[in-house]
Amino acid sequence: MTLVLHQIAVDAHDVPGLARWWAEVLRYQILFEAEDEVVIGEDATTRPGLCFLPVPEGKTVKNRLHLDLAPDDQAAEVARLEGLGARRVGIGQGDDVTWVVLADPEGNEFCVLRPRRTLVD
């Protein structure tokens, strides 16, 4: 029996807006869109995708799960993401870390790492 990471669910107030924002960030496509769900991904067969679902409550604490993005050029990517509306946030990281913590338009934290070649660089 095989098990794969299929998609990551993301709670959102503005489901289509946040899905489109992340699609632009990750250069993904909108693969499915309904009133109560939007799925984005590289294509219909490449996993994992992101599935955006509506929730009534707002975000109140630091995420228990977040995305780490590994670009070729960290500074350029942080600038691009800030231009799309991401903002830098402090979650207790020190000044000496090699990643940048950002938040999406709904306040979900994610990290932009220095360039990586493997999962354990």
Are residues 50 and 73 located together in one domain of the fold? no
* CA angle (53, 79, 15) in 5-degree steps: 10
Which whole-number Å values give the CA distances from 28 to 1, 4, 47, 65, 104, in the listed order? 29, 19, 11, 20, 16
Are residues 49 and 74 located together in one domain of the fold? no
Residue 120 has pLDDT above 90, yes or no: no
Which of 36, 56, 76 is a domain's end point?
A: 56
Half-sphere exposure of residue 40: CA atoms within 13 angstroms, side-chain side:
21
Q: What is the pTM of this model?
A: 0.91
Are residues 69 and 47 located together in one domain of the fold? no
Structural domain boundaries, residue 44 = 1-56
Q: What is the CATH number of the domain that holds 13?
A: 3.10.180.10
- Whole-number pLDDT of residue 107: 94
Q: How many domains, the chain?
A: 2
Which whole-number Å values give the CA distances from 50 to 14, 88, 99, in the listed order? 15, 22, 22
Residue 109 phi, psi dihedral angles, 5° rounding: -75, 150
Half-sphere exposure of residue 105: CA atoms within 13 angstroms, side-chain side:
16
Q: What percent of the chain has pLDDT over 70?
A: 100
32-79: pLDDT as tens digits = 999 999 999 999 999 999 999 999 988 888 888 899 999 999 999 999
